[in-house]
Structure 1
Amino acid sequence: MHKVMLVDLSPHSIANQTHSLDWRRLGYSLGGFAKSLGDAVSLFSRERFSLVVIHIRDAHAEGIRLCEFIRDKCKRMPLMLVGGRMDFHSAREAMHYGVNDYLPAPFTLEEMKDSLRNMREMIGDESDTAAASSRGDILYQAGAGDETGGETAENAADARLRDVHVIDRVKAYVEESLDQAITLKEISTSMHFNCSYLGQKFKYHENMTFNEYLLQQRMEKAKFLLEHTGLRIYEIANKVGYIEIDWFYKKFKSYTGVSANAYRKMHSITA
Protein backbone atom coordinates (compact mmCIF):
# COMPACT_ATOMS: atom_id res chain seq x y z
CA MET A 1 0.00 0.00 0.00
CA HIS A 2 1.52 3.33 -1.10
CA LYS A 3 1.39 6.17 1.43
CA VAL A 4 0.17 9.49 0.02
CA MET A 5 0.80 13.01 1.25
CA LEU A 6 -2.05 15.28 0.12
CA VAL A 7 -1.38 19.02 0.04
CA ASP A 8 -4.34 21.36 -0.54
CA LEU A 9 -2.81 24.81 -1.10
CA SER A 10 -5.81 26.16 -2.99
CA PRO A 11 -8.54 28.36 -1.49
CA HIS A 12 -10.88 26.13 -3.53
CA SER A 13 -10.54 23.00 -1.41
CA ILE A 14 -10.78 19.56 -2.97
CA ALA A 15 -11.51 17.93 0.39
CA ASN A 16 -14.94 16.75 -0.71
CA GLN A 17 -13.54 15.14 -3.86
CA THR A 18 -10.62 13.43 -2.16
CA HIS A 19 -12.74 12.18 0.75
CA SER A 20 -15.01 10.38 -1.72
CA LEU A 21 -12.03 8.55 -3.25
CA ASP A 22 -11.58 4.91 -2.28
CA TRP A 23 -7.85 5.28 -1.66
CA ARG A 24 -7.33 1.66 -0.66
CA ARG A 25 -8.94 0.32 -3.82
CA LEU A 26 -6.59 2.54 -5.82
CA GLY A 27 -3.64 1.05 -3.91
CA TYR A 28 -2.98 3.94 -1.53
CA SER A 29 -3.35 4.99 2.08
CA LEU A 30 -3.84 8.68 2.87
CA GLY A 31 -0.92 9.20 5.25
CA GLY A 32 -0.76 12.96 5.65
CA PHE A 33 -2.65 16.17 4.86
CA ALA A 34 -1.40 19.79 4.76
CA LYS A 35 -3.20 23.06 4.04
CA SER A 36 -0.20 25.38 3.74
CA LEU A 37 3.30 25.42 2.31
CA GLY A 38 4.86 25.50 5.80
CA ASP A 39 2.78 22.58 7.04
CA ALA A 40 3.66 20.59 3.92
CA VAL A 41 7.40 21.20 4.34
CA SER A 42 7.21 20.17 8.00
CA LEU A 43 5.16 17.05 7.28
CA PHE A 44 7.38 15.91 4.41
CA SER A 45 10.47 16.38 6.58
CA ARG A 46 9.06 14.22 9.40
CA GLU A 47 7.50 11.29 7.58
CA ARG A 48 8.02 8.99 4.62
CA PHE A 49 5.66 8.97 1.63
CA SER A 50 5.41 7.13 -1.67
CA LEU A 51 3.60 9.95 -3.50
CA VAL A 52 2.89 13.66 -3.00
CA VAL A 53 -0.32 15.08 -4.52
CA ILE A 54 -0.53 18.90 -4.53
CA HIS A 55 -3.69 20.89 -5.31
CA ILE A 56 -2.57 24.26 -6.71
CA ARG A 57 -5.66 25.97 -8.14
CA ASP A 58 -4.98 29.73 -7.69
CA ALA A 59 -1.85 28.78 -5.74
CA HIS A 60 0.55 27.93 -8.57
CA ALA A 61 3.60 29.76 -7.18
CA GLU A 62 3.36 28.06 -3.77
CA GLY A 63 2.88 24.68 -5.44
CA ILE A 64 5.99 25.13 -7.57
CA ARG A 65 7.99 26.21 -4.49
CA LEU A 66 6.90 23.03 -2.73
CA CYS A 67 7.90 20.94 -5.77
CA GLU A 68 11.31 22.64 -5.72
CA PHE A 69 11.75 21.87 -2.02
CA ILE A 70 10.72 18.23 -2.39
CA ARG A 71 12.86 17.68 -5.47
CA ASP A 72 15.89 19.14 -3.69
CA LYS A 73 15.45 16.76 -0.76
CA CYS A 74 14.34 13.65 -2.61
CA LYS A 75 15.01 13.60 -6.32
CA ARG A 76 12.98 10.43 -7.01
CA MET A 77 9.83 11.30 -5.06
CA PRO A 78 6.79 10.97 -7.40
CA LEU A 79 4.92 14.29 -7.66
CA MET A 80 1.42 14.95 -8.97
CA LEU A 81 -0.05 18.44 -9.42
CA VAL A 82 -3.82 18.91 -9.74
CA GLY A 83 -5.95 21.98 -10.42
CA GLY A 84 -3.28 24.03 -12.20
CA ARG A 85 -3.42 26.18 -15.31
CA MET A 86 -2.93 24.56 -18.71
CA ASP A 87 -0.54 26.94 -20.43
CA PHE A 88 2.94 26.26 -21.73
CA HIS A 89 4.71 28.30 -19.02
CA SER A 90 2.98 26.41 -16.20
CA ALA A 91 3.59 23.04 -17.82
CA ARG A 92 7.24 23.93 -18.45
CA GLU A 93 7.75 24.85 -14.78
CA ALA A 94 6.17 21.56 -13.72
CA MET A 95 8.43 19.62 -16.08
CA HIS A 96 11.50 21.51 -14.80
CA TYR A 97 10.90 20.11 -11.32
CA GLY A 98 10.19 16.60 -12.58
CA VAL A 99 6.44 16.60 -11.91
CA ASN A 100 5.25 13.17 -13.03
CA ASP A 101 1.64 14.07 -13.80
CA TYR A 102 -0.23 17.35 -14.14
CA LEU A 103 -4.02 17.47 -14.02
CA PRO A 104 -5.27 20.97 -14.87
CA ALA A 105 -8.56 22.47 -13.68
CA PRO A 106 -11.33 21.70 -14.16
CA PHE A 107 -10.98 17.96 -13.64
CA THR A 108 -13.35 15.15 -12.76
CA LEU A 109 -13.05 12.52 -10.06
CA GLU A 110 -12.58 9.87 -12.75
CA GLU A 111 -9.68 11.83 -14.26
CA MET A 112 -8.05 12.02 -10.85
CA LYS A 113 -8.51 8.27 -10.38
CA ASP A 114 -6.86 7.65 -13.77
CA SER A 115 -3.92 9.84 -12.79
CA LEU A 116 -3.54 8.03 -9.47
CA ARG A 117 -3.59 4.65 -11.25
CA ASN A 118 -0.89 5.90 -13.60
CA MET A 119 1.20 7.09 -10.67
CA ARG A 120 0.78 3.71 -8.95
CA GLU A 121 2.23 1.97 -12.01
CA MET A 122 5.06 4.51 -12.13
CA ILE A 123 5.92 4.08 -8.46
CA GLY A 124 6.59 0.37 -8.98
CA ASP A 125 8.09 -1.49 -6.07
CA GLU A 126 7.04 0.14 -2.81
CA SER A 127 10.27 -0.66 -1.00
CA ASP A 128 12.33 1.21 -3.62
CA THR A 129 10.15 4.30 -3.25
CA ALA A 130 10.28 4.13 0.55
CA ALA A 131 14.05 3.94 0.32
CA ALA A 132 14.09 7.03 -1.92
CA SER A 133 11.85 8.85 0.55
CA SER A 134 14.07 7.79 3.42
CA ARG A 135 17.11 9.22 1.66
CA GLY A 136 15.21 12.47 1.19
CA ASP A 137 14.45 12.66 4.93
CA ILE A 138 18.07 11.91 5.84
CA LEU A 139 19.34 14.64 3.50
CA TYR A 140 16.96 17.15 5.06
CA GLN A 141 17.75 16.21 8.65
CA ALA A 142 21.47 16.41 7.95
CA GLY A 143 21.08 20.01 6.71
CA ALA A 144 21.33 19.38 3.00
CA GLY A 145 20.76 23.05 2.20
CA ASP A 146 24.39 23.19 1.04
CA GLU A 147 23.77 20.85 -1.89
CA THR A 148 25.96 21.69 -4.86
CA GLY A 149 25.04 22.63 -8.39
CA GLY A 150 26.06 19.09 -9.34
CA GLU A 151 23.22 17.65 -7.23
CA THR A 152 20.75 20.04 -8.88
CA ALA A 153 22.02 18.99 -12.30
CA GLU A 154 21.63 15.35 -11.30
CA ASN A 155 18.03 15.98 -10.25
CA ALA A 156 17.31 17.65 -13.59
CA ALA A 157 18.93 14.74 -15.43
CA ASP A 158 16.76 12.23 -13.54
CA ALA A 159 13.62 14.22 -14.35
CA ARG A 160 14.60 14.30 -18.02
CA LEU A 161 15.21 10.55 -18.05
CA ARG A 162 11.70 9.96 -16.68
CA ASP A 163 10.25 12.23 -19.36
CA VAL A 164 12.28 10.54 -22.10
CA HIS A 165 10.81 7.21 -21.02
CA VAL A 166 7.29 8.65 -21.38
CA ILE A 167 8.08 10.16 -24.81
CA ASP A 168 9.59 6.86 -25.96
CA ARG A 169 6.33 5.10 -25.02
CA VAL A 170 4.39 7.62 -27.12
CA LYS A 171 6.71 7.07 -30.08
CA ALA A 172 6.46 3.28 -29.75
CA TYR A 173 2.66 3.56 -29.75
CA VAL A 174 2.79 5.62 -32.95
CA GLU A 175 5.16 3.17 -34.65
CA GLU A 176 3.00 0.17 -33.78
CA SER A 177 -0.27 1.84 -34.83
CA LEU A 178 0.78 3.89 -37.86
CA ASP A 179 -1.81 2.21 -40.08
CA GLN A 180 -4.62 3.29 -37.74
CA ALA A 181 -6.33 6.53 -36.78
CA ILE A 182 -4.15 7.81 -33.92
CA THR A 183 -4.90 10.69 -31.56
CA LEU A 184 -2.98 12.02 -28.60
CA LYS A 185 -6.19 11.71 -26.58
CA GLU A 186 -6.26 7.98 -27.26
CA ILE A 187 -2.59 7.60 -26.29
CA SER A 188 -2.93 9.70 -23.14
CA THR A 189 -5.95 7.66 -22.06
CA SER A 190 -4.07 4.38 -22.55
CA MET A 191 -1.14 5.76 -20.52
CA HIS A 192 -3.40 7.40 -17.88
CA PHE A 193 -1.97 10.85 -18.58
CA ASN A 194 -3.69 14.18 -18.95
CA CYS A 195 -3.84 14.82 -22.71
CA SER A 196 -2.85 18.51 -22.59
CA TYR A 197 0.10 17.92 -20.27
CA LEU A 198 1.35 14.99 -22.35
CA GLY A 199 1.15 17.20 -25.44
CA GLN A 200 3.16 19.95 -23.74
CA LYS A 201 5.69 17.42 -22.47
CA PHE A 202 6.09 15.99 -25.99
CA LYS A 203 6.58 19.44 -27.56
CA TYR A 204 9.05 20.43 -24.84
CA HIS A 205 11.30 17.44 -25.54
CA GLU A 206 10.84 16.98 -29.31
CA ASN A 207 10.61 20.63 -30.45
CA MET A 208 7.51 19.77 -32.44
CA THR A 209 3.89 19.06 -31.63
CA PHE A 210 2.57 15.53 -31.46
CA ASN A 211 0.56 16.07 -34.67
CA GLU A 212 3.66 17.33 -36.48
CA TYR A 213 5.55 14.23 -35.34
CA LEU A 214 2.71 11.93 -36.39
CA LEU A 215 2.58 13.51 -39.86
CA GLN A 216 6.36 13.19 -40.17
CA GLN A 217 6.26 9.48 -39.32
CA ARG A 218 3.39 8.81 -41.75
CA MET A 219 5.08 10.65 -44.61
CA GLU A 220 8.54 9.17 -44.04
CA LYS A 221 7.10 5.66 -44.08
CA ALA A 222 5.11 6.50 -47.22
CA LYS A 223 8.32 7.72 -48.89
CA PHE A 224 10.09 4.50 -47.92
CA LEU A 225 7.28 2.34 -49.30
CA LEU A 226 7.17 4.33 -52.54
CA GLU A 227 10.92 3.87 -52.99
CA HIS A 228 11.28 0.22 -51.95
CA THR A 229 8.01 -1.57 -52.74
CA GLY A 230 5.66 -2.03 -55.67
CA LEU A 231 2.56 -1.33 -53.57
CA ARG A 232 -0.12 0.78 -55.17
CA ILE A 233 -0.62 4.30 -53.86
CA TYR A 234 -3.91 3.51 -52.15
CA GLU A 235 -2.26 0.52 -50.42
CA ILE A 236 0.55 2.73 -49.15
CA ALA A 237 -1.99 5.31 -47.98
CA ASN A 238 -3.78 2.62 -45.97
CA LYS A 239 -0.51 1.41 -44.44
CA VAL A 240 0.22 4.88 -43.09
CA GLY A 241 -3.23 5.51 -41.68
CA TYR A 242 -5.12 7.24 -44.51
CA ILE A 243 -8.48 5.88 -45.64
CA GLU A 244 -9.25 8.73 -48.08
CA ILE A 245 -6.74 8.61 -50.91
CA ASP A 246 -7.32 12.26 -51.89
CA TRP A 247 -6.39 13.40 -48.39
CA PHE A 248 -3.21 11.30 -48.51
CA TYR A 249 -2.29 12.85 -51.89
CA LYS A 250 -2.79 16.34 -50.47
CA LYS A 251 -0.74 15.73 -47.30
CA PHE A 252 2.06 13.97 -49.20
CA LYS A 253 2.44 16.80 -51.73
CA SER A 254 2.37 19.39 -48.95
CA TYR A 255 5.09 17.48 -47.09
CA THR A 256 7.43 16.66 -50.02
CA GLY A 257 6.56 19.30 -52.62
CA VAL A 258 5.69 16.67 -55.23
CA SER A 259 2.89 14.17 -55.77
CA ALA A 260 3.23 10.56 -54.65
CA ASN A 261 3.37 9.36 -58.27
CA ALA A 262 6.03 11.91 -59.17
CA TYR A 263 8.05 10.99 -56.09
CA ARG A 264 8.03 7.31 -57.08
CA LYS A 265 9.09 8.09 -60.65
CA MET A 266 11.92 10.34 -59.47
CA HIS A 267 13.33 7.62 -57.24
CA SER A 268 12.81 4.79 -59.71
CA ILE A 269 14.90 6.77 -62.21
CA THR A 270 17.73 7.38 -59.74
CA ALA A 271 17.63 3.86 -58.25
Structure 2
Amino acid sequence: MLPAGKGGHIMYKVLIVDDEELDLKGMQTFIPWDSMGLEIVGAVHSGFDAYEILAREPVDILVTDVHMPSMSGLELAEKALELHERIRIIFVSGYQDFHYVKQALSLRAWDYVLKPMDDAELEQALRKLADQLDREKAALEAAPVQSSSAQTPSVQMPPTETPSAQKPPTDQEQSLPAAAPSKPSKNARLIAEVVQYVESRLHENITLKEVADAFAFSPNYLGALFKEETGINFSEHLIDRKMKIAGEMLRGTRLRIYEIADRVGYKYMPYFSRQFKETFGVTPNEYRRRE
Protein backbone atom coordinates (compact mmCIF):
# COMPACT_ATOMS: atom_id res chain seq x y z
CA MET A 1 0.00 0.00 0.00
CA LEU A 2 1.20 3.52 -0.80
CA PRO A 3 2.09 5.65 2.25
CA ALA A 4 -0.17 8.54 3.23
CA GLY A 5 0.89 12.15 3.48
CA LYS A 6 -0.72 15.12 5.19
CA GLY A 7 -4.48 14.85 5.40
CA GLY A 8 -4.35 11.16 4.61
CA HIS A 9 -3.54 11.70 0.94
CA ILE A 10 -1.71 8.91 -0.87
CA MET A 11 1.99 9.69 -1.37
CA TYR A 12 3.20 9.11 -4.93
CA LYS A 13 6.93 8.81 -5.51
CA VAL A 14 8.49 11.45 -7.79
CA LEU A 15 11.92 11.50 -9.42
CA ILE A 16 13.09 14.86 -10.79
CA VAL A 17 15.98 15.18 -13.23
CA ASP A 18 17.62 18.34 -14.58
CA ASP A 19 21.24 19.09 -15.42
CA GLU A 20 20.70 22.76 -14.48
CA GLU A 21 21.32 23.16 -10.75
CA LEU A 22 19.10 26.23 -10.36
CA ASP A 23 16.16 24.55 -12.10
CA LEU A 24 16.56 21.40 -10.03
CA LYS A 25 16.73 23.32 -6.75
CA GLY A 26 13.82 25.49 -7.81
CA MET A 27 11.60 22.48 -8.42
CA GLN A 28 12.56 20.99 -5.06
CA THR A 29 12.01 24.23 -3.17
CA PHE A 30 9.04 26.02 -4.69
CA ILE A 31 6.64 23.18 -5.50
CA PRO A 32 4.43 22.14 -2.51
CA TRP A 33 5.07 18.44 -3.02
CA ASP A 34 3.76 17.13 0.29
CA SER A 35 0.47 19.01 0.13
CA MET A 36 -0.23 17.34 -3.24
CA GLY A 37 0.52 13.87 -1.92
CA LEU A 38 3.89 13.69 -3.69
CA GLU A 39 7.21 12.56 -2.27
CA ILE A 40 10.56 13.27 -3.95
CA VAL A 41 12.61 10.06 -3.94
CA GLY A 42 15.44 11.57 -5.96
CA ALA A 43 16.64 14.85 -7.47
CA VAL A 44 19.58 14.25 -9.80
CA HIS A 45 21.51 15.98 -12.57
CA SER A 46 21.85 13.21 -15.15
CA GLY A 47 19.88 10.53 -16.91
CA PHE A 48 22.32 7.88 -15.73
CA ASP A 49 21.86 8.79 -12.06
CA ALA A 50 18.10 8.79 -12.59
CA TYR A 51 18.22 5.38 -14.23
CA GLU A 52 20.02 3.93 -11.21
CA ILE A 53 17.19 5.14 -8.95
CA LEU A 54 14.54 3.82 -11.35
CA ALA A 55 16.23 0.42 -11.41
CA ARG A 56 16.23 -0.03 -7.64
CA GLU A 57 12.92 1.43 -6.47
CA PRO A 58 9.37 2.12 -7.69
CA VAL A 59 8.68 5.58 -9.09
CA ASP A 60 5.21 6.86 -10.00
CA ILE A 61 6.13 10.15 -11.67
CA LEU A 62 9.23 11.18 -13.60
CA VAL A 63 9.82 14.91 -14.10
CA THR A 64 12.74 15.34 -16.47
CA ASP A 65 14.47 17.93 -18.59
CA VAL A 66 14.55 17.02 -22.29
CA HIS A 67 17.98 18.21 -23.34
CA MET A 68 20.72 16.77 -21.11
CA PRO A 69 24.25 15.58 -21.90
CA SER A 70 25.05 11.87 -22.29
CA MET A 71 21.45 10.66 -21.86
CA SER A 72 18.59 12.92 -22.94
CA GLY A 73 15.31 13.11 -21.08
CA LEU A 74 13.62 11.38 -24.01
CA GLU A 75 16.05 8.46 -23.79
CA LEU A 76 15.57 8.33 -20.03
CA ALA A 77 11.80 8.25 -20.47
CA GLU A 78 12.06 5.26 -22.81
CA LYS A 79 14.14 3.38 -20.25
CA ALA A 80 11.79 4.39 -17.43
CA LEU A 81 8.81 2.94 -19.32
CA GLU A 82 10.70 -0.32 -19.79
CA LEU A 83 11.24 -0.55 -16.03
CA HIS A 84 7.88 0.84 -14.88
CA GLU A 85 5.15 0.44 -17.48
CA ARG A 86 2.68 2.72 -15.68
CA ILE A 87 5.08 5.53 -14.79
CA ARG A 88 3.83 9.02 -15.71
CA ILE A 89 6.21 11.49 -17.32
CA ILE A 90 6.30 15.28 -17.32
CA PHE A 91 8.93 16.89 -19.54
CA VAL A 92 10.40 20.32 -18.83
CA SER A 93 12.29 21.92 -21.68
CA GLY A 94 13.57 25.11 -23.21
CA TYR A 95 12.79 23.65 -26.63
CA GLN A 96 9.41 24.43 -28.18
CA ASP A 97 10.26 22.61 -31.43
CA PHE A 98 7.36 20.34 -32.44
CA HIS A 99 9.88 17.53 -33.08
CA TYR A 100 10.57 17.29 -29.34
CA VAL A 101 6.90 17.57 -28.45
CA LYS A 102 6.00 14.83 -30.94
CA GLN A 103 8.58 12.52 -29.38
CA ALA A 104 7.13 13.33 -25.96
CA LEU A 105 3.67 12.41 -27.24
CA SER A 106 4.96 9.07 -28.50
CA LEU A 107 6.20 8.37 -24.97
CA ARG A 108 2.73 9.02 -23.50
CA ALA A 109 3.95 12.14 -21.69
CA TRP A 110 1.49 13.67 -19.25
CA ASP A 111 2.66 17.23 -19.97
CA TYR A 112 5.42 19.28 -21.59
CA VAL A 113 6.27 22.43 -19.62
CA LEU A 114 8.43 25.09 -21.24
CA LYS A 115 11.38 26.81 -19.58
CA PRO A 116 11.78 29.33 -18.11
CA MET A 117 9.26 27.60 -15.91
CA ASP A 118 6.35 29.17 -14.14
CA ASP A 119 6.18 27.27 -10.85
CA ALA A 120 2.38 27.52 -10.91
CA GLU A 121 2.27 25.84 -14.33
CA LEU A 122 4.31 22.84 -13.19
CA GLU A 123 2.38 22.67 -9.92
CA GLN A 124 -0.91 22.65 -11.83
CA ALA A 125 0.26 19.78 -14.04
CA LEU A 126 1.44 17.80 -11.00
CA ARG A 127 -1.74 18.44 -9.04
CA LYS A 128 -3.89 17.25 -11.92
CA LEU A 129 -1.71 14.17 -12.35
CA ALA A 130 -1.94 13.30 -8.64
CA ASP A 131 -5.73 13.58 -8.86
CA GLN A 132 -5.71 11.32 -11.90
CA LEU A 133 -3.61 8.71 -10.09
CA ASP A 134 -6.07 8.84 -7.17
CA ARG A 135 -8.97 8.17 -9.57
CA GLU A 136 -7.16 5.26 -11.20
CA LYS A 137 -6.36 3.71 -7.82
CA ALA A 138 -9.98 4.10 -6.71
CA ALA A 139 -11.21 2.50 -9.94
CA LEU A 140 -8.86 -0.45 -9.50
CA GLU A 141 -9.99 -0.98 -5.91
CA ALA A 142 -13.66 -0.72 -6.88
CA ALA A 143 -13.44 -3.08 -9.87
CA PRO A 144 -13.49 -6.41 -7.90
CA VAL A 145 -16.52 -5.20 -5.91
CA GLN A 146 -18.44 -4.43 -9.09
CA SER A 147 -17.81 -7.86 -10.57
CA SER A 148 -16.35 -10.50 -8.34
CA SER A 149 -16.49 -13.18 -11.05
CA ALA A 150 -14.63 -11.14 -13.64
CA GLN A 151 -10.95 -10.39 -13.83
CA THR A 152 -9.90 -6.94 -12.70
CA PRO A 153 -9.59 -4.85 -15.86
CA SER A 154 -6.56 -2.81 -16.73
CA VAL A 155 -7.67 0.74 -16.03
CA GLN A 156 -6.55 3.29 -18.59
CA MET A 157 -8.29 6.47 -17.53
CA PRO A 158 -8.35 9.43 -19.92
CA PRO A 159 -6.69 12.69 -18.90
CA THR A 160 -9.98 14.29 -17.83
CA GLU A 161 -13.21 13.11 -16.25
CA THR A 162 -16.19 15.43 -16.75
CA PRO A 163 -19.89 14.87 -17.45
CA SER A 164 -19.45 16.18 -20.99
CA ALA A 165 -17.56 13.03 -21.83
CA GLN A 166 -20.84 11.09 -21.70
CA LYS A 167 -22.65 13.33 -24.20
CA PRO A 168 -23.14 12.31 -27.85
CA PRO A 169 -20.76 14.03 -30.29
CA THR A 170 -21.75 17.53 -31.37
CA ASP A 171 -21.83 18.78 -34.96
CA GLN A 172 -18.53 20.51 -34.26
CA GLU A 173 -16.89 17.32 -33.05
CA GLN A 174 -18.17 15.48 -36.11
CA SER A 175 -16.58 18.16 -38.30
CA LEU A 176 -13.11 17.18 -37.08
CA PRO A 177 -11.03 15.14 -39.55
CA ALA A 178 -12.21 11.53 -39.58
CA ALA A 179 -9.76 8.93 -38.35
CA ALA A 180 -9.35 5.47 -39.79
CA PRO A 181 -11.56 2.84 -38.12
CA SER A 182 -9.72 1.83 -34.96
CA LYS A 183 -10.07 2.13 -31.23
CA PRO A 184 -10.13 5.76 -30.05
CA SER A 185 -6.80 7.27 -29.07
CA LYS A 186 -6.23 7.96 -25.39
CA ASN A 187 -6.58 11.70 -26.01
CA ALA A 188 -9.79 11.56 -28.09
CA ARG A 189 -12.10 12.38 -25.18
CA LEU A 190 -9.84 15.17 -23.91
CA ILE A 191 -9.81 16.87 -27.32
CA ALA A 192 -13.57 16.39 -27.69
CA GLU A 193 -13.97 18.26 -24.40
CA VAL A 194 -11.58 20.97 -25.57
CA VAL A 195 -13.69 21.39 -28.72
CA GLN A 196 -16.86 21.69 -26.62
CA TYR A 197 -15.18 24.18 -24.30
CA VAL A 198 -14.09 26.33 -27.24
CA GLU A 199 -17.54 26.07 -28.83
CA SER A 200 -19.14 27.55 -25.72
CA ARG A 201 -16.77 30.54 -25.83
CA LEU A 202 -16.67 31.48 -29.51
CA HIS A 203 -18.16 34.86 -28.56
CA GLU A 204 -14.99 35.62 -26.58
CA ASN A 205 -11.48 36.52 -27.71
CA ILE A 206 -10.32 33.14 -26.43
CA THR A 207 -6.69 31.99 -26.70
CA LEU A 208 -4.89 28.66 -26.54
CA LYS A 209 -3.32 29.72 -23.23
CA GLU A 210 -6.74 30.29 -21.66
CA VAL A 211 -7.96 26.90 -22.85
CA ALA A 212 -4.76 25.20 -21.68
CA ASP A 213 -5.13 26.83 -18.25
CA ALA A 214 -8.71 25.57 -18.01
CA PHE A 215 -7.56 21.99 -18.66
CA ALA A 216 -4.34 22.27 -16.58
CA PHE A 217 -1.95 21.78 -19.48
CA SER A 218 0.84 23.92 -20.85
CA PRO A 219 -0.26 25.74 -24.06
CA ASN A 220 2.55 24.17 -26.05
CA TYR A 221 1.62 20.64 -25.04
CA LEU A 222 -2.15 21.02 -25.42
CA GLY A 223 -1.57 22.55 -28.86
CA ALA A 224 0.51 19.52 -29.83
CA LEU A 225 -2.14 17.12 -28.51
CA PHE A 226 -4.83 18.99 -30.47
CA LYS A 227 -2.88 18.79 -33.72
CA GLU A 228 -1.98 15.16 -33.14
CA GLU A 229 -5.65 14.27 -32.64
CA THR A 230 -7.31 16.49 -35.28
CA GLY A 231 -4.64 17.06 -37.91
CA ILE A 232 -5.00 20.86 -37.69
CA ASN A 233 -3.63 23.57 -35.43
CA PHE A 234 -5.77 24.88 -32.59
CA SER A 235 -5.75 28.37 -34.12
CA GLU A 236 -6.94 27.01 -37.48
CA HIS A 237 -9.87 25.26 -35.80
CA LEU A 238 -10.78 28.35 -33.78
CA ILE A 239 -10.71 30.70 -36.80
CA ASP A 240 -12.65 28.23 -38.95
CA ARG A 241 -15.44 27.94 -36.38
CA LYS A 242 -15.67 31.70 -35.82
CA MET A 243 -15.75 32.45 -39.55
CA LYS A 244 -18.41 29.82 -40.26
CA ILE A 245 -20.65 31.27 -37.55
CA ALA A 246 -20.02 34.78 -38.88
CA GLY A 247 -20.99 33.59 -42.36
CA GLU A 248 -24.22 32.10 -41.02
CA MET A 249 -25.10 35.38 -39.31
CA LEU A 250 -24.35 37.37 -42.46
CA ARG A 251 -26.78 35.15 -44.37
CA GLY A 252 -29.47 34.76 -41.76
CA THR A 253 -29.62 38.04 -39.80
CA ARG A 254 -29.76 41.78 -40.39
CA LEU A 255 -27.03 42.45 -37.84
CA ARG A 256 -24.40 44.99 -38.84
CA ILE A 257 -21.01 43.58 -39.68
CA TYR A 258 -19.35 45.11 -36.61
CA GLU A 259 -22.05 43.48 -34.44
CA ILE A 260 -21.36 40.10 -36.03
CA ALA A 261 -17.63 40.58 -35.49
CA ASP A 262 -18.27 41.33 -31.83
CA ARG A 263 -20.44 38.22 -31.45
CA VAL A 264 -17.57 35.99 -32.58
CA GLY A 265 -15.02 37.67 -30.32
CA TYR A 266 -13.46 40.27 -32.62
CA LYS A 267 -13.14 43.83 -31.33
CA TYR A 268 -10.98 45.09 -34.21
CA MET A 269 -12.96 45.21 -37.46
CA PRO A 270 -10.03 45.24 -39.95
CA TYR A 271 -8.66 42.04 -38.40
CA PHE A 272 -12.07 40.36 -38.58
CA SER A 273 -12.51 41.41 -42.23
CA ARG A 274 -9.05 40.16 -43.15
CA GLN A 275 -9.58 36.75 -41.57
CA PHE A 276 -13.04 36.50 -43.12
CA LYS A 277 -11.63 37.18 -46.58
CA GLU A 278 -8.82 34.66 -46.04
CA THR A 279 -11.48 32.06 -45.19
CA PHE A 280 -14.13 32.78 -47.83
CA GLY A 281 -12.21 34.68 -50.52
CA VAL A 282 -14.53 37.70 -50.27
CA THR A 283 -15.15 40.50 -47.78
CA PRO A 284 -18.09 40.28 -45.35
CA ASN A 285 -20.00 42.88 -47.42
CA GLU A 286 -19.41 40.96 -50.64
CA TYR A 287 -20.43 37.71 -48.96
CA ARG A 288 -23.70 39.22 -47.73
CA ARG A 289 -24.52 40.74 -51.14
CA ARG A 290 -23.73 37.47 -52.89
CA GLU A 291 -26.10 35.59 -50.63
TM-score of the superposed pair, with normalisation by structure 1: 0.74
**5+ residue gaps in structure 1?**
136-156
In 1: Cα distance, 2:268 partner to 2:276 partner: 13
Structure with greater helix percent: 1
Letter in 1 for 2:73: G
Q: What's the C-alpha RMSD, in Å, of the aligned pairs?
A: 3.2
Distance 2:254 2:261 in 1: 13
Structure 2 gap segments, 5+ residues each: 1-9, 142-153, 155-181
Q: Deviations over 1:16-54 (max 9, x none)?
A: 223313211233222445554445345435544432222
Alpha-carbon distance in 2 for matches of 1:130, 1:9 = 33
Identity %: 29
Q: How does 1:4-83 map to 2 (within 5 A)?
A: 4-10=13-19, 12=21, 14-20=23-29, 21-33=31-43, 35-59=45-69, 61-72=71-82, 74-83=84-93
Whole-Å separation in 2 of the counterparts to 1:126 and 1:257: 49
- TM-score w.r.t. the length of structure 2 is 0.69
- 2:103 maps to 93
Report if aligned partners of 2:17, 2:47 keep a CA contact under 8 Å in 1: no
Q: In structure 1, the residue corresponding to 2:122 is in which secondary structure?
A: helix
Change (3 A) 1:223 1:121: farther
> SS at the partner of 1:212?
helix
Q: Which residue of 2 aligns with 1:248?
A: 272
Distance 1:129 1:96, change over 3 A: farther
Aligned counterpart, 1:260: 284
Structure 1 position 11, deviation (Å): 5.1
Aligned residue for 1:117? 127
Q: Is the 8 A contact 1:23 1:29 kept in 2?
A: yes
Q: 2:111–2:125: 8 Å Cα contact kept in structure 1?
A: yes
1:95-128 deviation per Cα after TM superposition (whole angstroms, max 9, x unaligned): 1111111112221333322222232344342526
Partner in structure 2 of residue 104 of structure 1 = 114
Q: Deviation above 6 Å: which 4+ runs of structure 1?
A: none
Once residues 245 and 84 of structure 2 are traced to their aligned partners in structure 1, the CA distance between those partners, rounded to angstroms, is 43
Shift of 1:232: 3.8
Moved more, 244-253 or 181-190: 244-253
Question: Residues 133-148 of structure 1 correspond to what in structure 2 (within 5 A)?
Answer: none
Distance change (3 Å), C-alpha of 1:39 and 1:250: closer
Q: Are the structure 2 counterparts of residues 248 and 85 from structure 1 closer, same or farther at C-alpha, using a change threshold of 3 Å? A: closer
Q: Give the total of aligned pairs.
A: 242
Report the AA paired with residue 76 of structure 2: L
- d(CA) in 1 for partners of 2:202, 2:276: 15
**CA separation in 2, counterparts of 1:103 and 1:236?**
37
Residues 59/2 of structure 1: CA separation in 2 closer, same or farther (3 Å cut): farther
